[in-house]
Amino acid sequence: MNTENQHYDVVIIGAGPSGAVAASLLVKRGWQVLVLEQQLFPRFSIGESLLPQCMEYLEQAGLLELLHSNAAALGFQFKNGAAFQRSGEHASIDFTEKFSQGPGTTYQVKRADFDKCLADGAAQQGAEIRYQHTVVAYHNLAEGAQLEVKDQQQNNYKVTARFVLDASGFGRVLPRLLDLEQPSNFPVRSAFFSHFKDGIVDDSFDRNKILINVHPIHKDVWYWLIPFSDGTASIGVVAEPTRFAKDVESLSCLNDFIEQDPFLAQLLNKREAIGAARSISGYSANVKSLVGNNFALLGNAGEFLDPVFSSGVTIALKSASLIAPLVDSHLRGEEVDFVADYSKPLQSGVDCFRTYVSAWYDGRFQDVIFYTEQNHQVREMISAILAGYAWDTENPFVKQSERRLTTLVALCQS
């Protein structure tokens, strides 16, 4: 590779969903785009249960048909909602019955294959992607930035760009390099998870929905069960670190928690783990700013809340959808207010999700979900948010999320 300085209109750090969508949107507008990805695809990632709102952003980027055409072969599972279980209480949300306009169905995906599918689509549209290339330094320039990059042979080279997008997810490259990180206001939590041959034979189990299961004793501990169409599933448990025994192997820890819940233990009594289990801790994150001189942070590189309502990929794709036309205008010499037109709109939806995530952990939103006398119209408004439509301010539960939810909780608990 030519190690002399190379120049692009846009350099994107990370080839995950937000990077692939942003790259696709920008090459469609005629810009020369380079994507630098530290890992080799396919590679494992969590965040496997998409929300229907994602489908609009994939369609904007010209990637939706690629997803549809590969879904069956890759074991992706049609998804139309979410199911909930708490000590014998059952509830479900159908995303096709929602307040907001837009798709009501999506997929549960194996992220290694999903991410590679989108990245391949972005490359087919004209984005250049370099795998196993790591950004190690960032320097501001008068009209852009210079990145120092290390390739797979540990050779260093430099790239300049008129604009840089950080789509590095949990890698959080620019937040680390530019000292943008700040603590999340969420408690530190850990997750243990793995893929299984699930062996589920219960005919009442709906594979078209993610199952969110509350621990029978600790309401702040929950499990995900994400079925795929090939008889496998992603299973995980989330709790504050003090709930987990120290020095216990990850799969043993996960299996022990599954056995603590009678419903899950019975449903999954024929499960077989596929490979080792994994764990992550302290994944909730925040930053001082989502934008700076000639750069912006996308998706998890900016802020990650919590996996409970599968909002991560939706926020990532929303960020790509919002930023691409602004970068396009900026590159054309137009005046752009990235804070007003990117940071604030993106944050409004993140804050809506935050309301419901926080209320899930303190039990208030759980009481709403399991309430048996739900108003149909309110139910559709809540369904829209859980389907990812957290930016639809026509929905009162989006526009005034905290106040409306507090009122609803009071009604359900009275």
pLDDT at site 374: 87
Indicate whether 164 pLDDT > 60: yes
Residues of the chain with CATH 3.50.50.60: 6-80+99-183+285-348
Residues of the chain with CATH 3.30.9.100: 190-281
CATH 3.30.9.100 for domain 190-281: yes
6-80+99-183+285-348: CATH architecture: 3-Layer(bba) Sandwich (3.50)
Give per-residue pLDDT as tens, 13-25: 999 999 999 999 9
Q: Comparing C-alpha atoms, which of 234, 238, 222, 258 is closest to residue 188?
A: 238
Give per-residue pLDDT as tens, 369-381: 999 998 999 999 9
Instruction: Output the six-digit token pair for 78.
Output: 């049609």
Give per-residue pLDDT as tens, 1-49: 555 569 999 999 999 999 999 999 999 999 999 999 999 999 988 889 9
Alpha-carbon span 347 to 343, nearest angstrom: 6
pLDDT at site 245: 85
Q: Count of CB atoms within 10 A of residue 394's CB?
A: 12
The answer to whether the beta carbons of residues 113 and 43 sit under 8 Å apart is: no
pLDDT at site 285: 72
pLDDT at site 283: 66
Q: Is the dihedral of CA 316, 317, 323, 327 positive or negative?
A: positive
Indicate whether 303 pLDDT > 80: no
Place of tokens 């809540």: 382
71 forms bridges with which residues in the sheet?
none
Indicate whether 243 pLDDT > 60: yes
Instruction: Output the six-digit token pair for 365.
Output: 């939103």
| pTM, 2 dp | 0.95
